[in-house]
Amino acid sequence: MMIFIKNEEVEVEVGKTLGEVFCKLKYDNSLIGAIVDGNLKDLFHVVQEGEKVDPVFTDSDKGLGLIRHTAAHVLAEAVQSIYPETKVTIGPVIDDGFYYDFYSKRNFTEDDLVLFEKKMSEIINKKIPIIKKVISKDDALNHFNSMGESFKEELINDLPQNVDISLYYQDEWSDLCKGPHAPNTSYIKSFKLLSVAGSYWRGDENRESLQRIYGTAFFSNKDLKKHLALLEEAKKRDHRKLGKELNLFSITDEIGPGLILWHPNGAIIRRIIEDYWRKEHDESGYSLIFTPHIAKADLWETSGHTEFYSENMFSQMDIDSNKYQTKPMNCPFHIMIYKSELRSYKDLPVKFAEIGTVYRYERSGVLHGLFRARGFTQDDAHIFCTLDQIEEEVEKVINLTTKFLNTFGFKDYEIFVSTKPAKYVGSDSEWDQATKALKNSLVNKSLDFSIDEGGGAFYGPKIDLKIKDVLGRSWQCSTVQVDFNLPKRFDLNYISRNNDRLQPVMIHRAIFGSFERFFGILIEHYGGAFPFWLAPVQVKILTVSDEQFDYCDLLSETFKKSKIRVEFDKRNEKLGLKIREAAISKVPYVLTIGKAEVENKTVSVRKYGGDQLGELKVSDFVDIVNSEKMEGLS
């Protein structure tokens, strides 16, 4: 039979695996797997007539995924060899590494990670072949039942009766897994176990508590060391740590998990972002609106949230014999404003924008500071337009989005267009036109993008934009989604040129995603050292003694008149201590005022990072900071 390897026809025998085919073609051991008809496969895959095959090598991202998947299995074997009573659950590959969840009465410690790493090295050095075996569902149940692996039994029981089950073996140790994997353990060249965290079986907090061990693996020690250095830098920049140190926000048990208290310093930055957001949306033709935090439960029935999203919604409350719920999204409110009057084709597009707070019941195990909260504020907007207007309106959204991101220091991003999934609403022609419009809007801006085939929501195609921070990490923020579903559910219409009632298209879009999450990304991107225009305190004044207070009060007033955010530290502390604390708080400029500065009507300037600008005239210093303000949102 014939297959295609790198687009060239190759004749192979029926029943041969990829490993056998590549071996005959004399590929070396840098080959680790292949992409077969768009799917990553290991060398156990039995080739089929007409398949398109592209080799995957160890120095590729796909190859690294195979190595990390195998490293997760090696970890599981190591844990069970040291603590045989431990039960294994699942161990997937994730961004930058892998994890494996374990059920054990023993609490794993950092010392245990050292033991596990040592055992993993022994397994890896044995170059144990990874063997795939396919068995029936009944045989798989018997296999894991004999081992006491109840979690694996539960997974198998959820599969169809006639499905084939694949097991992957490392000598006598085996795991339930669909793969793919590296050919043997020696492909894992460099690895590290990173941490232990708590989790729940299947993410359900009412189920068994598990212990999750995170790890990573690379092709070389050099790559591993580079990654570990990046992790150390990321720890220093952790927004939860800096949020406390810089007095930006807090989350307390008294208020509740996932609910954010914005402190004055954080609130200043949020106000700057919000003011800029409102200004730009005003100028871009959006109507700014406000909507309630709760609504009758019937609204969420109509929108479909009750059917598809109820597990992420808070419980209903009784008010005047009616059921109400806090809003998980703003969309239905914007729809009701659209429906409040008769719309003509002449009115379209109608563009509503809102800084709207929503509430979602996120499980405690996934809450993560500002990045995953239960109450957060979306920079939400919805555009009601005709099918023919999609391209122009999406292009305007892209223009606005890139302007925002560039302003806040994000100039590197990846863009994805997600297309029609297997199940969808709307006609094929609508999907084709909408998808083409999304692509054209990016082409017109000369922006590179990737296609996520079948990755669209059931209600329409979308554009996702992932920004990269200063450490090269990707963050999902901006999204533009075409929606054929909600206009139909809510019976939206407009009067056409021919006096017909037609259904508009609804475009959902957010630039930041949420103010909380974007603020967390900003904190980590800048490491808390915000650019001058964004810093909550731009100038801090310190004195040698109380004798300089009057002069410093005058300085404070001068700076405030120039709209410079200034803080005068009048505490009775040593100057050295106050200078160190100002550095820790990452204030852009620290002014030290002594007897000479008062006599000369000057300021001694220290810039964040250690640069000494020396003694300057007050007017010269104001000119310097005003020029920095112009770089941002002055």
Pairwise CA distance, residues 514 & 493, whole Å: 30
Q: Is-catalytic flag, 118?
A: no
Among the listed residues 41, 87, 237, 360, the single catalytic one is: 360
CB 406 within 8 A of CB 400: no
Among the listed residues 143, 462, 509, 586, the single catalytic one is: 462
Helices (H), ranges, 41-186: 61-82, 110-125, 137-146, 150-157
Q: Is-catalytic flag, 380?
A: yes
Helices (H), ranges, 359-470: 390-407, 428-443
Among the listed residues 227, 508, 509, 525, the single catalytic one is: 508
Among the listed residues 101, 380, 464, 469, the single catalytic one is: 380
Q: Is-catalytic flag, 462?
A: yes
Distance in Å from the first CA to the final CA of the chain: 69
The vertex-505 CA angle with 432 and 309, nearest 5°, equals 95
Pairwise CA distance, residues 609 & 581, whole Å: 13
Q: Is-catalytic flag, 385?
A: no
Six token digits for residue 384: 């009601």
CB 197 within 8 A of CB 214: yes
**515-526 vs 264-283: helix axis angle to the nearest 10?**
110
Going by C-alpha positions, the residue among 204, 160, 596, 518 that lies closest to residue 364 is 204
Q: Is-catalytic flag, 382?
A: yes
CB 467 within 8 A of CB 474: yes
Among the listed residues 177, 331, 385, 477, the single catalytic one is: 331
The Cα-based distances of 271 to 26, 325, 517, 631 in angstroms read 63, 28, 15, 18
Q: Is-catalytic flag, 23?
A: no
Among the listed residues 334, 382, 509, 578, the single catalytic one is: 382
Q: Is-catalytic flag, 331?
A: yes
Residue 349: cis peptide before it, omega within 30 degrees of 0: yes
CB 174 within 8 A of CB 73: no
Among the listed residues 378, 389, 481, 548, the single catalytic one is: 378
Look at the alpha carbons of 441, 446, 451, 457 in this order and tell me if their dihedral is positive or negative: negative
- Active-site residue numbers? 331, 360, 378, 380, 382, 462, 508
